[in-house]
Amino acid sequence: MSDNLSELLGKKGIGGSLFDKMGKLSREDGGSPSEAQLTALAEEFLVGKANTFGTATFYDFLKPENKGKKVYVCNGSACLCAGTQDTVLESLQQEFKHDEIGHMTCLGRCHENSAFHYQGKNYSGKAIHGLDEIIKSQKNQYQDAYQVRASGAAILTKPFTQIDAYYTPFKKALQASPEAVLEEIKTSNLRGRGGAGFPMGLKLEFCRKAENDTKFVICNADEGDPGAYSDRYLLEARPHSVLFGMLVAGYLVKANYGILYIRAEYPESVTIVQDAIDQLREHGLIGVDIEGSGFNFDIKIIQAQGSYICGEETALINSIEGQRPEVRVRPPYPAQKGLFNKPTVVNNVETLAALHYILEHGGLAWKQIGTEKSSGTKLVSLDSYFNAPGIYEVEMGTPLSTVIYDLGKGFKKEVKALHIGGPLGGIVPLSKIGDLTLDFESFSKEGFLLGHASVVSIPSNFSMMRYIEHLFDFAAYESCGKCFPCRLGTKRGHELTSKALESDYKIDRTLFNDLLSTLEQGSLCAHGGGIPLPIRNALTYFEGELKAYFN
């Protein structure tokens, strides 16, 4: 957002990141850096105290109000729909004071719910019943469990073998011409899995062409979509797939630094990925002059601090810099001017994880999987309403009904709609399942969004108006606040829906429609721009249920 701040904060390089320092201070100092620490940081980086304060106050886990929080309850959509969190909260309240309990939005335990976070670890399922023990021993006896299955080709879910063997395609790439490797990726037509579906080869090419001595590769591991835990799966179960992708991307764009931006809500991911990075170092696969190729590359984890918007790539870049993670205008695109104003490629975890297959088998092999425009496989996360919750790897173009009924084995309880693709994804009524195949085009054509392909089930007895209110609440809470439509619109949307739920207030349809259009057309990024989609879906498919709230 601020060129000057990007420059000043970049002077110490990624190793001395302001944001990283703030995170450490916060963890060491009870949940929020002190004013004295913020002042000292401002002096160290030659920025304003307002800047360090402004940054700290943005994040759930840095803001002054977070001081003294000891335990956090998940308030993501899946846990909300599952209705488990009131019980969790009651249990926690017996052990903790009201002020000591905070919220985290989606711990990625959508497959078993009852999720909470305590002292750097996540718990879910039955764990809440063993709270005493957890507090005493701090040992996690309650490892969560979910299905992992590929319906066709197992690519992303393919078991990891051994590090040397696994990295062979990368070593080969180091010997090959980077142009040829890039061509394979372009041939594969791999599209970004973060939601926007931008062709990865083109992104890499733009960044490769940008002239600069310093470039960065960022892995966006800020999987904030409530209901999604496929990135968590990859980070924790297939960390080398992700690191492999970063190495290749770094090599192709001529970057020397890779940054994994992992959300604070996934503490286990941080530990596991760090172990994997250490292994790479031991094997000489990161560092200086890797395998004698002259390619220098290092990878660093930056732990996020609680903000959904950081999943938006420019907000994420601002976040890593230590600026307020507000969305930047585009152009310039990150590939031209990204982290610390240097060319940067930002890719989602799952996109990076796909590179191994493409390097091993060639771009065409990937291209031949899936549909014409949506190639390859996609991970889908199914929540606890399914009989078989878990992560499923399916080929693009697979009928949605196959995913729901064959893989997920249908629902445990009666469900009326599926919220697919995160909070900004569409609300798919059960009646539409048969019309959809799992790929970008089919979802888009039917007025939905594939997004990150997370599936949250909305039970039949859950008020759709309550769900809309929840979406507005989430959107307003997580809005960065930069653009007028989103900052004000999501808030007013939340107020209108709350008022309609809590009183006999009827929402004016024209006003509501104007609000949704303003958000869609006017918002700076997909956060404000995307939230109307599920709400419009709900209005279309659940008119009967919702009409009571409107006049």
Q: How far is the CB of 424 from another protein (least distance, A)?
A: 16
Q: How far is the CB of 53 from another protein (least distance, A)?
A: 5
Kindly tell me which of 268 and 520 has the beta carbon lying closer to another protein: 520
Rounded distance between C-alpha atoms, residue 218 and residue 281, angstroms: 19
Kindly tell me which of 96 and 505 has the beta carbon lying closer to another protein: 505
Kindly tell me which of 328 and 452 has the beta carbon lying closer to another protein: 328
Kindly tell me which of 468 and 496 has the beta carbon lying closer to another protein: 496
Q: How far is the CB of 15 from another protein (least distance, A)?
A: 15
Q: How far is the CB of 50 from another protein (least distance, A)?
A: 4
Rounded distance between C-alpha atoms, residue 489 and residue 542, angstroms: 22
Is 446 within 8 Å of 435 (Cβ atoms)? yes
Kindly tell me which of 405 and 505 has the beta carbon lying closer to another protein: 505
**DSSP H or E segment with residue 438:** strand 437-438
Rounded distance between C-alpha atoms, residue 146 and residue 464, angstroms: 28
> Which phi and psi angles does 297 have, rounded to 5°?
-155, 135
Q: How far is the CB of 539 from another protein (least distance, A)?
A: 18
Kindly tell me which of 1 and 546 has the beta carbon lying closer to another protein: 1
Kindly tell me which of 166 and 505 has the beta carbon lying closer to another protein: 505
DSSP labels, 475-523? HHHH--S-SHHHHHHHHHHHHHHHHHHHSS--B-HHHHHHHHHHHHHH-
Q: Is the dihedral of CA 275, 276, 281, 283 positive or negative?
A: positive
Kindly tell me which of 198 and 484 has the beta carbon lying closer to another protein: 484
The HSE-up count of residue 220 (CA atoms within 13 Å, CB side) is: 28
Kindly tell me which of 212 and 279 has the beta carbon lying closer to another protein: 212
β-strand 454-459 against 377-382: which pairing, if any? parallel
β-strand 257-262 against 216-221: which pairing, if any? parallel
Q: How far is the CB of 545 from another protein (least distance, A)?
A: 23
Interhelix angle 168-175/239-253, rounded to 10 degrees, is 10
Q: How far is the CB of 312 from another protein (least distance, A)?
A: 13
Kindly tell me which of 243 and 310 has the beta carbon lying closer to another protein: 310
Rounded distance between C-alpha atoms, residue 47 and residue 324, angstroms: 13
With 0-12 / 13-18 / 19 or more C-beta atoms within 10 angstroms meaning exposed / middle / buried, residue 175 is: exposed
**DSSP H or E segment with residue 437:** strand 437-438
Kindly tell me which of 33 and 227 has the beta carbon lying closer to another protein: 33
Q: How far is the CB of 387 from another protein (least distance, A)?
A: 38
Rounded distance between C-alpha atoms, residue 539 and residue 328, angstroms: 31
Kindly tell me which of 257 and 542 has the beta carbon lying closer to another protein: 257
Q: How far is the CB of 151 from another protein (least distance, A)?
A: 37
Number of H helices and E strands in the chain, helices first, is 26, 16
The torsion of the CA quartet 126, 129, 131, 133, rounded to 10 degrees, works out to -90
Is 85 within 8 Å of 74 (Cβ atoms)? yes
Pair of tokens at residue 487: 């900052």
Q: Which residues bind another protein (CB under 8 A)?
A: 1-5, 7-8, 10-11, 35, 38-39, 42, 46-51, 53-54, 57-58, 63, 307, 309, 324, 326, 329, 331, 340-341, 476-485, 487-492, 495-496, 499, 505, 508, 511, 514-515, 517-518, 521-524
Instruction: Look up tokens 């041939």; give the residue.
Output: 187
Rounded distance between C-alpha atoms, residue 147 and residue 150, angstroms: 10
Amino acid at 99: D
Q: How far is the CB of 471 from another protein (least distance, A)?
A: 14
Q: How far is the CB of 383 from another protein (least distance, A)?
A: 26
> Which phi and psi angles does 495 have, rounded to 5°?
-65, -45
Rounded distance between C-alpha atoms, residue 533 and residue 529, angstroms: 8
Q: How far is the CB of 436 from another protein (least distance, A)?
A: 25
